[in-house]
């Protein structure tokens, strides 16, 4: 049955799947709880709500006995403006639809089987499940790594009442390499395998509401959403493409040429119209504007100062504070020496 499901998954566009048990994540739940107790989750209060539940698939499906995890590669971004995964065309729906069809096939093979699809939006430790299912290992960057694909993989899971012999876990191949830790612009890793979200640019540009500390604004550079520095530093990957040279999860045309200034223009044109259907919308309208203004201050150039001045009286505090900071930074850069 496992081999049949693997073949079905490949036909559906799920490059790889792995199998593990519903009980395999308990230790990871304890580690998450300890991480939260240390406050390293920052303002992400949803992670503090019963963290052990995220390691218990029966909380999603009381009859759960097994977990099938799917891994789908995606391409790195060509610049740092937007994290590569956030440029993808609705990966939530794309992976979820394929997992739903895999669940239908499982139900055909084992009538009466119950299944729940999880793609990034349900309380399940998907990376830990993927590692338990042999799809890679958790690297020093806390990302799931694979020899051929590196960290460039999106995940989805099928929690099911069916039981399977678990696949063997992958061996940790990080060795003495610290490239990901050394690449972090804010020293967000307190030690190998431990990330403090309160120093991570992805946390600040995606999850945090309101103004950023000045040291974070300086470290952000021209980024608008997320940070891939620890991913791009990894010596493993990037993933192979299909026979036509196209990634399995394609980049959305609308996000291919997104610059900080273009982000502001599109926000003025309408947040929902331009961003709502993409992962980049997670930052919220004010958060994206705050980030884009900060990025423009780093880029500089003609019209940057005038653009940032337009937002110094904005209704949102984060936008106001960052706009005023951007104006000061740009004025100082333009002042005669």
Active-site residue list:
120
With beta carbons less than 8 A apart as the criterion, state whether 26 and 67 touch: no
Beta bridge partners of 146: 150
CB 119 within 8 A of CB 99: yes
For tokens 């612009």, what's the residue? 185
Asked if 13 and 7 count as a contact pair (C-beta separation under 8 A), the reply is no
Kindly state the DSSP code that residue 207 receives in the 8-state scheme: I
Are 15 and 71 in contact, with CB atoms under 8 Å apart?
yes
Taking the C-alpha atoms of residue 102 and residue 117, their distance in angstroms, rounded to an integer, is 10
Identify whether the C-beta of residue 231 lies closer than 8 Å to the C-beta of residue 151: yes
> Cα separation of 146 and 135, whole Å?
7
Q: Which of 287, 251, 253 is nearest to 267 (CA)?
A: 287
């Amino acid at each position: 049955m496992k081999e049949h499901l693997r073949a079905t998954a490949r036909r559906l566009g799920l490059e790889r799947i792995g199998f593990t048990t519903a009980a395999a994540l308990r230790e990871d739940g304890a580690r998450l709880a300890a991480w939260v107790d240390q406050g390293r989750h920052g303002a992400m209060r949803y992670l503090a709500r019963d963290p052990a539940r995220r390691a218990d698939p029966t909380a999603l499906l009381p009859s759960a006995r097994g977990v099938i995890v799917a891994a789908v590669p995606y391409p790195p971004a060509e610049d740092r403006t937007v994290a590569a995964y956030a440029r993808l065309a609705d990966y939530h729906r794309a992976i979820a639809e394929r997992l739903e069809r895999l669940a239908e096939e499982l139900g055909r093979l084992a009538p009466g089987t119950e299944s729940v699809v999880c793609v990034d939006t349900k309380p399940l430790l998907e990376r830990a499940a993927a590692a338990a299912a042999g799809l890679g290992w958790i690297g020093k960057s806390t990302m799931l790594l694979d020899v051929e694909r590196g960290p460039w993989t999106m995940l989805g899971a099928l929690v099911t009442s069916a039981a399977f012999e678990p696949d063997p876990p992958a061996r940790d191949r990080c060795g003495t390499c610290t490239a990901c830790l050394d690449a972090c612009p804010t020293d967000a890793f307190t030690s190998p395998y431990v990330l403090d979200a309160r120093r991570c640019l992805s946390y600040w540009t995606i999850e945090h509401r309101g103004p950023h500390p000045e040291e974070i604004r300086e470290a952000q550079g021209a980024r608008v959403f997320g940070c891939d520095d620890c991913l791009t530093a990894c010596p493993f990957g990037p993933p192979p493409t299909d026979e036509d040279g196209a990634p399995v999860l394609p980049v959305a045309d609308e996000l291919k040429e997104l610059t900080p200034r273009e982000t502001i223009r599109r926000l003025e044109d309408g947040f929902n119209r331009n961003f709502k259907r993409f992962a980049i919308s997670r930052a919220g309208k004010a958060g994206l504007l705050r980030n884009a203004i900060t990025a423009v201050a780093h880029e500089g150039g003609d019209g940057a100062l005038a653009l940032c001045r337009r937002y110094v009286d904005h209704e949102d505090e984060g936008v106001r504070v960052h706009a005023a900071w951007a104006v000061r930074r740009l004025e100082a850069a333009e002042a005669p020496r």
